[in-house]
Amino acid sequence: MIDRERPLVAINGELIDGASPAVTLKNRYADAVLKAGGVPVAIPPVGGPSDLRRLLERVDGLVLSGGDDFDTARLGLGPTHAAAKPVPSAKQDFDIALAQAALELRVPTLGICYGMQLLGLVGGGSLFQHLPEEWSGKNPHSGGVVHAVTPERGSRLARVVDVPALDVISRHHQAMRDIGARWKVCARDAEGLVEAIELEGDAFVLGVQWHPELAPEGTAHDRLFRALVFAAAQRSIARRYPQVAAQVGGRG
């Protein structure tokens, strides 16, 4: 039986396409949620909009995990770059619908790498499809390179990590070119590349371009998962005890 005192956090997986499609999820994402106090559950890319809503109404939080690239042509954002390795169409379509539904239902959400780009695209942004060709910066970002990012002062990210700078592990060659309305950049690297975005307002929706689940334990990266789980726990309490939540909210 699921421990109702611990929030349930859904995590999207990768799709192995073919005659018998299957979903896979790297344990490091689930481990990070578990260590932060949540109960992780993997979700396969199946079902339609109504199924997604039912799913998101039963979980308390969401991690949009890392993955490969986007088929921008399928999104109406121009030709897909030759260097891109798009995820299967079924996964991309599912993930877009999942992110849209999560934002609509105000589900606490942490997007990681591909997951951050997913949030950015759903929010009306656009991509650099291949940094070596489309970005003037020279710092490497792929292959697990470690580099520094600086949280924007006053951002939710800055409050969560509570450090002036972070050393992060990067595994990407795509990045956000720009972001849509209601979003703000909350971290950049030394060359100005967007490294994190967050949704304006009181909902916990945060995307980071790096991989906090790969960072050593006991670092500021752990706080990202703890913040997600805390927001998910608040959502769980509000849904289970709406009268108490209304009273607390009224005092604020």
Active site residues: 113, 211, 213
Contact 105, 112 (CB under 8 A): no
Among 164, 207, 168, which residue's Cα sits nearest to residue 185? 207
**Exposed, middle or buried by CB within 10 Å (0-12, 13-18, 19+), for 127?**
buried
Neighbours of 219 (CB within 10 A): 13
Q: Give 22's strand partners.
A: 16
DSSP code for 105: T
Cα–Cα distance for residue pair 181/201, rounded to 1 Å: 12
